Amino acid sequence: MIREAAAADWPNIWPIFREIAKAGDTYAYPTDINTAEAEHLWMTLPVRTYVFEREGQIVGTYYIKENQSGPGNHVCNCGYMVASHARGLGVARSMCEHSQIVAVKLGFLAMQFNFVASSNEPAVALWQTLGFDIAGTLPAAFNHPERGYVDAYVMYKSLAGWQVD
């Protein structure tokens, strides 16, 4: 089940966020980010934040926000996190599909992921199966903790013409 996150959900989102940030292999967040900074980034800045619950437990979360303000505010940006024990179960796919519907309902015409580490092959492959194109490559832009400097991708999908109920 995917639902909009409430402030009271943060204590259950934080362990997922902390695990992913600490690993340093997919997001460009400080590996030692504290809960207050993380909560601000994930819960306050976005237009909306959602959680994916499985058997009453939050196992995934995503946010949606404007990618840019002003003339760029018709393009949204999303970030997705899945608890390690729930990976490979379709959580990220479900959240991405859900986020595209939410984006259209909010009036966005496109979705852009600004900084996808090329070393995150499962995410790159999933986004591509969901219709995202690599719009650009940022050479050696992501410092992976094991692989060193790897490329980062800008990925993009038009939502123009989508109709949702």
pLDDT exceeds cutoff 90 at 143: yes
Within-domain flag for 142? yes
- Domain contains 118: yes
Give the pLDDT band of residue 161 (cuts 50, 70, 90). Answer: confident
- Residue 77 in domain: yes
| 160 DSSP assignment | T
Read off the pLDDT of each residue in 127-142 and give the average, rounded to a whole number: 97
User: Average pLDDT in the 108-125 region?
Assistant: 97
Residue 164 lies inside a defined structural domain of this protein: no
> Is residue 117 in a domain?
yes
Domain that holds residue 64: 2-158
* 163, part of any domain: no
Give residue 50's pLDDT: 98
Please, are residues 89 and 98 in contact by the beta-carbon 8 Å criterion? no
The verdict on residue 11 lying in a domain is yes
Q: How many CA atoms, within 13 angstroms, populate the side-chain half-sphere of residue 154?
A: 9
Residue tagged 């410092």 (tokens): 143
Q: Convert the pLDDT of each residue in 28-63 to its tens digit.
A: 999 999 999 999 999 999 999 999 999 999 999 999
Q: Is 25 within the bounds of a domain? A: yes
Is the pLDDT assigned to residue 165 strictly greater than 80?
no
Domain with residue 151: its CATH number is: 3.40.630.30
Confidence tier at 148 by pLDDT (50, 70, 90): very high
The widest CA-to-CA distance across the chain, in whole angstroms, is 45
Cα gap 114→146, rounded to integer Å: 22
The total domain count for the chain is 1
